Amino acid sequence: HDAVLLIDEAHSLGVTGTGNFQGCGSVAGTALAGHPNVIMTATLSKALGSQGGAVLGSALVREHLLNRARSFIFDTGLAPASAAAALAGVRIIRAEPWRAESVRSNAAALAAGLAPVLAARGAALDRAAGAVQSIAMPSAESALAAARAARTAGVRIGCFRPPSVPDGISRLRLTARATLTPEEIEDSCAVLRGILEELP
């Protein structure tokens, strides 16, 4: 059908990959890589530890964006230091593929550590394949209170509530990283279990 496929690699870069492409995202190492009808977007601020973003595609796509994307044309270019930081992040991902596997296993450990208390509440963690694990909360107020209580206990978690998300789907977001120790994971889960058990 000659369709165009747009793939957002924001949560897969640094986490997923196949074979020799561990951490390189969901497209690298597949038949989609380099296909002229595939456009990828990626953030430089998550796994790469920098700022900004990138659109990857064919020469035709790049030329179109250079000439037609007003938000790109009239934007300030990425600072050289940010570009260098992102490039260093790419090099680390390529040189240290163990990091991607570690992120995935640490995310699974976070999910497993919270599963019992969530099951007891009749809830479940929205288990994702990537680094970010999400816990649905009953209200924006309970999500904010839980995030604050966790922070007071030394555990920093994301809190998403309206207007960032639609009404009724406030949530906590836990992000695994490659260098989390088993003790840090268990301590974080223990803090969150205690907070979640006290929710009305």
pTM of the predicted protein model:
0.86
Q: Given a cut of 70, is residue 176 above it in pLDDT?
A: yes
Q: What pLDDT is stored for residue 186 in this prediction?
A: 96
User: What are the structure tokens assigned to 176, written together?
Assistant: 């695994």
162-179 average pLDDT score = 92
Q: What pLDDT, in 10s, does the model give residues 118-168?
A: 887 777 677 788 899 888 898 999 999 999 999 999 999 999 999 999 888
Q: Given a cut of 90, is residue 117 above it in pLDDT?
A: no
96-117 average pLDDT score = 93
Q: What pLDDT is stored for residue 71 in this prediction?
A: 87
Q: Given a cut of 70, is residue 100 above it in pLDDT?
A: yes
Q: What pLDDT is stored for residue 124 in this prediction?
A: 67
pLDDT above 70 coverage of the chain, percent: 99
pLDDT band at 37 (very low <50, low <70, confident <90, very high): very high
83-105 average pLDDT score = 97
Q: Which domains does the chain have, with CATH numbers?
A: 5-95 (3.40.640.10), 98-197 (3.90.1150.10)
Arithmetic mean of pLDDT over the chain = 93
pLDDT band at 27 (very low <50, low <70, confident <90, very high): very high
Q: What pLDDT, in 10s, does the model give residues 55-78?
A: 999 999 999 999 999 988 888 889
- DSSP for the chain, written as a single string: ----EEEE-TTTBTT---GGGTTB-SSTTSTTTT-TTEEEEEESSSTT-S--EEEE--HHHHHHHHHH-HHHHTSPPPPHHHHHHHHHHHHHHHH-THHHHHHHHHHHHHHHHHHHHHHHTT--EE--SSSEEEEE-S-HHHHHHHHHHHHHTT---EEE-TTSS-TT--EEEEE--TT--HHHHHHHHHHHHHHHHT--
Q: What pLDDT is stored for residue 149 in this prediction?
A: 96
